[in-house]
Amino acid sequence: METGKTIVGKLNGMKQARELYTESISRLEKFVLLALLTLGLESVIYFTHWWFWGGHRKQTAFFVILSFAIFWEIFRNLINWYIYSFVKTPEPQKRTHDFTVDVLTTAMPGEPYAMFEQSLEAIAAIEYPHNTFLLDGGNDPQLQALCERLNINHINCEGVGGAKAGKINYCLNNFSTSEVVLVIDPDHIPKKDFFEYTLPAFNDEKVGFVQVVQAYYNTGESFVADAAAEQTFGFYGPTLMGLNGLGIPTAIGANCTFRRKALDSIGGHAIHLAEDALTSMRIHAEGWKSVYVPYRGSTGLAPADISAFFKQQLKWATGMFYLLFREYPKLFRKFNLVSKLHYFFAGTFYLNGLAVFFTLILPIIFLFFKIFAVEMALSDFLIHYVPYLAISVGINQFIQRWYTHTEEKRFPWKSMVLEKGTWFIYMMGFIYGLSGKKVAYLPTPKTAQQGVYLNLAYPHILILALSIIAIAFTLLTYPRMDTGTNLMIFFAGTNIALLTPTIWISTKNLFIKNN
């Protein structure tokens, strides 16, 4: 675990690069964004028309599957582009009256003591008057002493069920009495002025919660930590700003501030694998509003090794599918139209794993068995696909003006590689969610482990090996190389390139000796 001085040094280093807080969106920015989005839509229409009506369809069943695999990413981009068109920041305002505030954070056995020293000291130092509660699932004597020193309420939560949300509800029902409650993860270090940015939104009595940016201070620890953080840059920038414009920012459990009445109206914090998403759904279903403030109010830890990242993603994917299949139908009638659409699309996000699986397996099947979904020249495919790809990159570069930190502005290749490598985890989440298989709610590990995760690389190694063999088999046995064959070789080669980094991350310690 990093020392306090190391963490403080990293936070100070982050301050040297400028943090961004967009007060308003200019008319010129809005015009350029809408122009880019229009070009993006036209490029999608151009590619879609050619793909479905270009006269190159061969085997219909495989064509349908291949079309899903290719167009899923396009479909998700269209959703994101629609959200970006509503990008908006809240109007600056001052508190009209003082709120009573409680801060709730949790502890579980095995979590590093040094982390609590940093986070609890920072919570205690928040300038606005508040009461802090540490909800300790292990009743740790060290944490009891730390809380006594910092004047923090230590709550013994041994035997309290329901994981994190169960502890929160236990505190709400027995100890916490304030009007506003900040639920913050124990690895997050809040800023002293946290409530200066969040409390003014509660001037509106209909606001049920306020969400801020979830940022990370350990991105330099590993490739995985940096890539995991990179996956969130767009979400905590233009995506949540767009949802703010649509009136439906989502609650994120790491650092969300709730109105107590909103939590009481839904019977407390939801106990679920995706506890923050379900809490958000229920609050919106009861008619409460939410606000997103694009402000880095706290910084925490991103998963720093592939095992921790996969565990986190399995929990999230399974939880979101649980919501989609079981909770969403229960709340559907209570939702307004925007909520209906938003939570449906949010629940289907992790179908990306199924789409990626098809992009991985179909070229192998086509090359081994000479079954082709399409017959087209690679050059023809690129002529129609590249305009969409180029404009997508252009949109991504433009929306980075609404990222929350200058260090976030870059081409997101690391997150793309990591997302590609998580395909089988997302598929497991889909299967678990569909079947109702229970997955334990476990906190994401807070320290990186320098292990060899060969078992996590097996699916990738299998696909990579089959892709190489399929290409070799084709080159050695096919009497002629037609256009469909060349296209599938291109797809298989692309898959090899994209899966190799995940295999290396999972197994590199087999080959690298630590000094």
Q: Is 500 part of any domain?
A: no
Instruction: Write out the two tokens for 388.
Output: 């969409």
According to the model, what pLDDT value does residue 371 have? Answer: 87
Q: What is the mean pLDDT of the chain?
A: 92
Q: Is 293 part of any domain?
A: yes
- Mean pLDDT throughout 43-68? 95
Starting at the edge strand found earlier in the chain, the sheet holding 214-216 runs 189-190, 298-300, 214-216
Helix axes 60-84, 27-53, angle to 10 degrees: 170
Q: Is 426 part of any domain?
A: no
Helix (H, G, I), strand (E, B), or coil: what is residue 296?
Answer: coil
Domain boundaries, position 139: 101-303
Instruction: Write out the two tokens for 159.
Output: 């035997």
Question: Residue 485 pLDDT > 60, yes or no?
Answer: yes
509/506 Cα distance (integer angstroms): 8
According to the model, what pLDDT value does residue 446 have? Answer: 65
- Mean pLDDT throughout 285-307? 95
According to the model, what pLDDT value does residue 481 have? Answer: 81
Mind listing the pLDDT tens digit for each residue in 108-136?
Answer: 998 999 999 999 999 999 999 999 999 99
- Mean pLDDT throughout 398-406? 92
DSSP strand E in 396-473: where? none
Q: Is 249 part of any domain?
A: yes
What is the torsional sign of CA 137, 163, 294, 336? negative
According to the model, what pLDDT value does residue 476 have? Answer: 93
Mind listing the pLDDT tens digit for each residue in 411-438?
Answer: 999 999 999 999 999 999 999 999 988 8
Mind listing the pLDDT tens digit for each residue in 456-483?
Answer: 999 999 999 999 999 999 999 988 788 8
Any idea what the CATH number is for the domain that residue 107 is in?
A: 3.90.550.10
**Between residues 31 and 5, the one the model is more confident about:** 31
Question: Residue 443 pLDDT > 80, yes or no?
Answer: no
Instruction: Write out the two tokens for 256.
Output: 């969300």
Mind listing the pLDDT tens digit for each residue in 150-198?
Answer: 999 999 999 999 999 999 999 999 999 999 999 999 999 999 999 999 9
Write out the H or E segment, with its range, that includes residue 11: helix 4-16
- Mean pLDDT throughout 435-446? 80
Amino acid found at 342:
H
- Number of structural domains, the chain? 1
According to the model, what pLDDT value does residue 25 have? Answer: 85
According to the model, what pLDDT value does residue 208 have? Answer: 98
Mind listing the pLDDT tens digit for each residue in 6-22?
Answer: 444 444 444 445 565 65
Q: Is 200 part of any domain?
A: yes
Q: Is 111 part of any domain?
A: yes
Write out the H or E segment, with its range, that includes residue 189: strand 189-190
According to the model, what pLDDT value does residue 515 have? Answer: 42
Residue 284: pLDDT band with limits 50, 70, 90? very high
Q: Is 133 part of any domain?
A: yes
| Residue whose pair of structure tokens reads 């998580």 in the numeric block | 422
Q: Is 157 part of any domain?
A: yes
Map 60-99 to HEC letters: HHHHHHHHHHHHHHHHHHHHHHHHHCCCCCCCCCCCCCCC
